[in-house]
Amino acid sequence: METNIKITAAPMIEKSGDLAAILTNLQAKDILFIDEIHRLSPAIEEVLYPAMEDFRLDIIIGSGPAAQTIKIDLPPFTLIGATTRAGMLSNPLRDRFGMSFRMQFYSPSELALIIKKAAAKLNQDIKEESADEIAKRSRGTPRIALRLLKRVRDFALVKNSSLMDLNITLHALNALGVNELGFDEADLAYLSLLANAQGRPVGLNTIAASMREDEGTIEDVIEPFLLANGYLERTAKGRIATPKTYALLKIPTLRSQSLF
C-alpha cells in the first residue's frame, strides 16, 4: 500500500485524549493498528465511531449547558483491530468494521521459512532440519517460533557452537519441556485433568483452580491450539477430552477398561 502504519494497543489508550492524539497525527492513507481492541473502554469507543464512519473527530469542550462540540476533520485512514477475544467486542464497534477475518495457525513450512529469515537477521547459521524441528513445535504461531529460536540459539552459544544443528536443537527443546507436538507442561497438565475426568465435562473455573491459572490464560493461551488440533471439546457443561487425548497420554478410558 506504500504507506505508514502506526501500531498501538488498547490498554495504552486510557483516556479519550490519548486516542485523539493518535488520530490527529495520522496522515492520509496511514494504517492504524490497534491490538487487543476488545479492551477499549466504551467512552473511548464513542470517540472512535465518528472517525471510523466519517473520518471526523468530535471533541467536547467544557461541561453542562456550556459544553461545546468541536468537529475536526481527519485524513482518510485504514483502521485494523486485532483481538483473540472477539466475543468481548461490543456490537456497535464490531458492526462498524467493513470486513472481519479469522486468522488461521501457520503451517510448519511457513514457520520454518520465518525461522530461517529470523536466524539470518541474528547472524546465526541454522540447519534446515533444525528450522523444521522448531517449526513443528511452535504451535502454529510465529511469536512462539521466534521465542524458541532465540532459546535454541542460547543453547548453541553455551555449547560454543556457531551452528544450530539438529542435536543442539533437540537438546534445547527437550530441556525447555516442549515436546514433538509443541505441548509444554501446562498443556499436558490440562489434558491430564480432562482425561482423568473420564468423559465427564470439566468446568473452566474447576480447571483454573486445579491448575492455579487464570481463566483468561487457559482460554487464550492453552485451549486454542489444543482445540484446533482435536484434543478437547467444549460443551455447555464444560470441557471434555477426546480419544486423541487418551491416546496421547496413554490413559485408558472407562469403556476400554470395561472390555477386560
Binding-site sequence positions for DNA: 234, 239
- Residues at the binding site are 53-55, 96, 106, 143, 234, 239
Strands 78-82 and 31-35: parallel
Helix, strand, or coil (residue 60): strand
Rounded distance, CA 207 to CA 194, Å? 9
Rounded distance, CA 165 to CA 155, Å? 11
- Residues at the binding site for ATP are 53-55, 96, 106, 143
Rounded to a whole number of angstroms, the distance between the first and last alpha carbons of the chain is 65
> What is the number of other CB atoms lying within 10 angstroms of the CB of residue 158?
10
Q: What are phi and psi of 126, to 5 degrees?
A: -140, 135
The owner of cell 475426568 is 197
